[in-house]
Amino acid sequence: MTAVPATEQALYTDQNVHVSTSRLIIHGTTYALSNVTSVRMLETPPNRSFAITLIVLGVIFLGIRLYALALIALAVGILLCVVLKATYSLAIGSASGERSAMSSKDRDYIAHVVESINEAIIARG
């Protein structure tokens, strides 16, 4: 990180993000806070089509009495449905449009960054 000017108040900093009252630095890209018009969190659900296909195959295997294959297909399909998680993205809006600045599987982390940027926008006035 570079030195923070005296008029700039840092609100949040971690290894990937720096939020202050005048700028945002996300994964090495700097955004002037004065150019940020909006910030929000987007949720992209996981693609569970393969998992659902395995479950359907498991049911079909049960119907034709292939119990070992049915058990494997059902177990893997259900496990995938449980393990797959949504991806959360930080979307930053400006006069030139909206772009995704970062994403994570950790909803709380992205929500905290969004909240910090909103605080910076309010503090800036």
Residue-level pLDDT, tens digit, the chain, 125 residues? 455 555 778 889 999 999 998 999 999 889 998 889 899 999 999 999 999 999 999 999 999 999 999 999 999 999 999 999 999 999 999 888 899 999 999 999 999 999 999 999 888 76
Distance CA 15, CA 42 (A): 22
